Structure 1
């Protein structure tokens, strides 16, 4: 190529260009002044060639909007197609169109990576259903919907960290590999050594080890030295479920508060976290959220705005069961005191309370794990537990006061036959224990709710669920 006359001319033209300032698409779109040499890199979202001018729209993931590139038709080549990766150098100028502030007048366009448009599964100007792009986990981030989702995930993650740090919490990295089953449900992924060189099959850690289902117990350790701690990381449940609310790998936000004797304190943090993080996401990602509220869940915007203005509703488990028993609706699972609330029950309770988030508190003692604080309330025998139910999703958060009284905790562990396993947990109650409590919030369910997405598999980059682990 350089041996030809045209090649040498192109080389001289590139060499004569001044050093360009590299801009992201979002920065170029937000620029207020024209002029100056800039370089923008990204992927082509559309190509339109006319006799006098060539139009490109490119995007680099920093914004839902595309940057319009205006160029001489002579810069077009066969590799400049939808989906190709390009580097464009030129000058930013005011756009004559009302929908955009700036556009880029190209002086050079370099195709960094061509795209085979015949086999590329995402097609130009098509709005692909979420179910369709889910088939292509290696490519679906190129679609507008998933790109918006990932920007929202990023902002929501930052907002959650900011909420806790602004309120004096210490961030703890709890382990992913653990010997504890925090939930007691037995839905654990067992870790085994797979190396052929490991010799006779032995336990790597000398004890059975699992992928964590929760960081709560480790946070309780830390709550013996810090009054407020939180963690935010991956958790794993080996649930053989294909439902739209369950994943085998998901992210959990968990917090633990020392020196608290009130379940209301825990509930207030849950509500404040939800409202603060949601308000931040709505203010920082307005166009991305609008895409979901316009095309995925048209009424969700108004519902969210109303929820952010009002207190969440609180009812007891007893009240919940009575509401369900008196319902005109027929349930698949008959509501009875002492039985866990099913998804259909949770949806009905939210609807009954006006389609707003609902705290259900004080569950039966036998329904909940060993660490929840005994209310010592007579024949009914409940624990100071709380679940936060939200419309369309059901349970979003679960929390409780923890049992800090050593005799009561010892008695319960003995009845369950797990005293030896949790001797370290009893030690925490011997050495400066204080009343404390905490909660966990499923991050994907949170996103599912605020965006109005029907299936939880569409709010995580690489969904893991029963019989599916693509990539």
Structure 2
């Protein structure tokens, strides 16, 4: 039995993927596993296209029609043994002459994804457990994987240390209040019991039975897992700043969570954030160079190394191929304008509502259109930005920060110099739980700067994805949490 287990483990770990077979072309006996992407049955022969998700390419399998079982259906899981031979057909260099086809698991009818049909992304999104078999989802997930690699590659090549910041935190970095608070299941049951009892009392004219008192709020307090409110993180920034007090270049690439009520094409409740913090930076332009270089590094590698998947995705999702735009963008310097200049441009060249101390998405998209590409808007009013941003030396009513705006999406990234004066921080921050953050300024910390970039928004922009929900394997938004 042990030998059987070892043999199976060795076989599965050394079996070539379809991508490897197509690249290496090891002619002769072979075995593949995958899913049926298409089938064309003739009188004597049947032609199958089999894919395993390792590549945008499938491999053609030829077998006698007499060996086709009833369970060999679209998207069924199969194991095929046979001989890899040179192909005489155009568009493929090799194919498999099958000797045996095992249907590991067939698809029950009715099956929602049928061959040779186009399905809109909002339809595919309804089937999270099978959508990775579609060309659009599979190609986008491979592109997402490569972009993840490119982000990490940029930071590692430039001397950053990768920090795993916590998902659970007592900090609300942005102070916006759109956070998920952590509660145990036991605590939730007590809350529900209290609510139900109070509702029953409110709906009744009967006096409360003193021998059968309702659950007390003290029960709820005693069941808290933590001694103070704890939330799912909205940002790893403050933790990065803590680590940056000793390691001068750090970054994190972690999930973040926001309890936004909006159900738009641009918002997710769970998303991934690229964040970096750098010590001893005093010039905002240096930080903007880092953001621009990271963005272009990812974009340039996409068009150089992921051409086939970009083509597959644009065709299967029926959207415009973005490669030409990216090629032009990476060779063009991003525009940089002050908030005041942005306000004047909008006032003088658009019919949009007047800008107050913040920009709407319409304002952001107009600036990208007017300046014909990505644009940094820097030096914003202090009233519109979080407490930790450093005041501008030339005007204390402004903070030394910048948002990167990109076409079709709007805000992609935001960064700033961090306030280094403990007294100024204490004046702007009224949260006692952040006293440790302020006190770092008295513990030998260096001046720092940092930024955060939404990974899904980066994907949406570079790949021209219509809905941000399609940029992540399992999307989460208000009232939507499949699987």
TM-score, with structure 1 as normaliser: 0.90
Cα shift readout 1:186-245 (whole Å, capped 9, x = no counterpart): 101111111379982233110001110000000000100111100001100111101111
The residue that corresponds to 2:196 in the other structure is: none
Q: In 2 relative to 1, CA 441–197 (structure 1 residues): closer, same or farther, beyond 3 Å? A: closer
Q: Deviations over 1:116-145 (max 9, x none)?
A: 2x3111011112111111111222111100
1:293, 1:301 within 8 Å by CA — same for their partners in 2?
Answer: no
Residues 257 and 269 in structure 2, CA contact (< 8 A), matched pair in contact too: yes
Q: Give the conservation status (yes or no) of the 8 Å contact 2:310–2:321.
A: no
Post-superposition Cα deviations, 1:299-337, rounded to whole Å, max 9, x if no partner, equal 5222111001111110000000011111232x2xx2234
1:62 alignment partner, one of 31, 54, 58:
54
Contact kept? 2:300, 2:326, Cα under 8 Å: no
Residue aligned with 1:267, SS: helix
- For residues 228 and 212 of structure 1, what CA distance do their matches in structure 2 show? 21
Task: State the distance in 2 between where 1:243 and 1:317 align.
Answer: 26
Determine if the alignment matches structure 1 residue 388 to structure 2 residue 400: no
Q: 1:465 Cα deviation (Å)?
A: 0.7
What does residue 266 of structure 1 align with? Answer: 287
For structure 1, which runs of at least 5 residues remain unmatched after alignment? 1-18
- Given that 1:296 and 1:453 are in contact with CA atoms closer than 8 Å, whether structure 2 keeps it comes out as no
2:378 pairs, out of 356, 361, 369, with 361
Structure 1 segment 38-49 matched on structure 2, within 5 A? 38-49=30-41
User: Counterparts of 1:216 and 1:362 in 2: how far apart (Å)?
Assistant: 20
User: Residue 30 of structure 1 contacts residue 102 of structure 1 at CA under 8 Å; is this kept in 2?
Assistant: no
Q: Find the partner of 1:336 among 338, 355, 366.
A: 355
1:34: which partner in 2?
A: 27
What is the rounded CA distance, in whole Å, between the counterparts of 1:237 and 1:162 in structure 2? 27
- Of 96, 100, 121, which aligns to 1:108? 100
**Aligned residue in 2 for 1:313:** 335
Query: What's the Cα RMSD here?
Result: 1.7
Identify the structure with the greater helix proportion.
2
Q: Hey, what does 1:185 align to over in structure 2? A: 176
Tell me the residue number matched to 1:173. Answer: 164
Partner of 2:252: 231
Structure-2 residue corresponding to 1:137: 128
* CA drift at 1:175: 0.7
Query: Paired residue for 1:372, among 384, 389, 410?
Result: 389
Contact 1:292 1:452 in 2 (8 A): no
Query: 1:145-294 to 2 correspondence within 5 Å?
Result: 145-195=136-186, 200-202=219-221, 203-294=224-315
Is 1:350 the counterpart of 2:368? The answer is: yes
What number of residue pairs does the alignment pair up? 441
Whether the aligned pair in 1 keeps the contact of 2:36 and 2:49 (CA below 8 Å) is yes
Counterpart contact for 2:253–2:275, Cα < 8 Å: yes
Q: Distance in 1 between matches of 2:321 and 2:85?
A: 38
Structure 1 runs, 4 residues or longer, greater than 3 Å off: 196-199, 292-297
Inter-partner Cα distance in structure 1 for 2:129 and 2:175: 35
Structure 1 Cα separation of the partners of residues 111 and 62 of structure 2: 25
Distance 2:173 2:87 in 1: 58
Q: Does 1:435 align with 2:433?
A: no
Alignment of 1:74-89 (within 5 A): 74-89=66-81
Match of 1:326 in 2: 348
1:293–1:112: structure 2 CA closer, same or farther, 3 Å change rule? closer
Q: Distance in 2 between matches of 1:318 and 1:236?
A: 32
Question: Within 2, Cα distance between the matches of 1:430 and 1:304?
Answer: 45
TM-score normalised per structure 2: 0.88
Distance 2:380 2:93 in 1: 56
Match of 2:40, SS state, is strand
Give the corresponding residue for 2:214: none
Correspondence for 2:208:
none
Q: Report Cα offsets for 1:379-416 as digits up to 9, x if no partner.
A: x7100111000000000001101011223222323xxx
Q: Residue 215 and residue 105 in structure 1: after superposition, are their counterparts in 2 closer, same or farther (change >3 A)? A: same
- 1:326 alignment partner, SS class: helix
1:13-43 Cα shifts (integer Å, max 9, x gaps): xxxxxx99722111122234522x2110000
